[in-house]
Structure 1
Amino acid sequence: MDSDIKHPGIKSVGWALVQASRLHRSRTGDKLSQLGLFAGQEQVLQALADAGPMTMGDLASILRVRPPTASKTVSRLSALKLVERHTEPGDARVVRVKLTKEGKRKAAAIDALWNEVESELLAGFDNKDRKRLRKLLRKAAKNLAGLTGADQTGFEVEAEDDVDELGTEEQELAATA
């Protein structure tokens, strides 16, 4: 391919975001395969490690997927003996999911993997750049979530101590988010 040829979307923020996201997902997927997992499964394990046992509906909500999608992933993780499903005593319609001991070990490995890929992604970024990028991406996601009717939780401005460390422009951005 001729190195002088450029993609028509090269100056588009959306195009850059798609490329970075695609490469991040590919790198993460390669690392996950070393753990015997597929992309998407790590999110279930991370959510359960963070919040503890939860209903399938709560899990789907946290992951921003439809319940059948969450259920399919949980079934696969259950077959790998990483999660267990139990019906709620008194109401068999409510199913709770929790990590097994092996699931907890995988979740810890995923955290290490995630930190490694994030370090690779943000190599050369100082802390100010990292915080600013995170805030800008949250704001962009919140903008689209509002337009699509998606759940807007999770896109909040970070804790006040993060805002205090930012410059004036970042403080103004945080105030408008």
Structure 2
Amino acid sequence: MDKDVKHPGGKSVGWALVQASRLHRSRTGDKLSDLGLFAGQEQVLQALATSGPMTMGDLAAILRVRPPTASKTVSRLSALKLVERHTEPGDARVVRVKLTKDGKRKAAAIDALWDEVEAELLEGFDNKERKRLRKLLRKAAKNLARLTGADQTGFEGESDDEFEDFTPPEAEPESALAATA
């Protein structure tokens, strides 16, 4: 690329976020393909590994997707024998999804993969910067969730004390902000 070609959103936080997200998704997708999975499928396996069996509606809510999208992904994972669907006794309309033994093994491999990609993503960041970035991204996501009517849960930190060393940007001198940009 020529040196004088400028990205249209060079000073935009949204542009930087989209670019980082695309590159993260690409890197994760490459690693997932080694496990025989496609991007998005890992999120279902991770959600089930973390929360245990759940309804399709609960799964869709956690993933912030529409139920048909969750259902399609679950169908593909079921064909791979990584998840099982069971109707609720007494109400066949309620379908619960759970990991199989193979699904649990795959979820453990995904956790390792996710940790590896996160280490690559955050190389050179100290703990304070990692915490700050996580908090700011959660805040941005919560803002958009509120405006779009999406579920806002899960955007809070693990505890209020987790970010006690965080200094809001408005409290930092301008020169400190410029150094981190």
Whether TM-score is above 0.5 comes out as yes
Q: What does 1:52-91 align with in structure 2 at a 5 Å threshold?
A: 52-91=52-91
Q: 2 CA distance for matches of 1:23 and 1:109?
A: 21
Residue 163 of structure 1 and its aligned partner are, at CA, apart by: 2.6
Aligned to 1:107: 107
Letter in 2 for 1:52: G
Aligned to 1:137: 137
**TM-score (norm: length of structure 1):** 0.92
Letter in 2 for 1:66: R
Helix, strand or coil at the partner of 2:4: coil
**TM-score (norm: length of structure 2):** 0.90
Matched, 1:26 2:30: no
Number of aligned residue pairs? 170
Helix, strand or coil at the partner of 1:96: strand
Matched, 1:43 2:43: yes
On the 8 A contact 2:131/2:166 being kept in 1, the answer is no
What does the per-residue CA deviation read over 1:124-172, in whole Å, with 9 as the maximum and x for residues that have no partner?
00000000000000111111111111111111133133133x14437x8
Aligned to 2:98: 98
Matched, 1:123 2:127: no
Matched, 1:3 2:20: no
Q: 2 CA distance for matches of 1:25 and 1:99?
A: 23
* RMSD of equivalent CA atoms: 1.3
Letter in 2 for 1:89: P
On the 8 A contact 2:132/2:163 being kept in 1, the answer is no
Helix, strand or coil at the partner of 2:94: strand
What does the per-residue CA deviation read over 1:35-54, in whole Å, with 9 as the maximum and x for residues that have no partner?
00000000000000000011
For structure 2, list consecutive stretches of 5 or more residues without a partner in the other structure: 172-181
Q: 2 CA distance for matches of 1:28 and 1:135?
A: 22
Aligned to 2:152: 152
Could you tell me the percent identity over the aligned residues?
86
Q: 2 CA distance for matches of 1:149 and 1:92?
A: 29
For structure 1, list consecutive stretches of 5 or more residues without a partner in the other structure: 173-177
Q: 2 CA distance for matches of 1:50 and 1:167?
A: 28
Q: 2 CA distance for matches of 1:168 and 1:25?
A: 29
Q: 1:80 to 1:62 in 2, by over 3 A?
A: same
Letter in 1 for 2:116: E
On the 8 A contact 2:131/2:163 being kept in 1, the answer is no
Letter in 2 for 1:15: W
Aligned to 2:13: 13
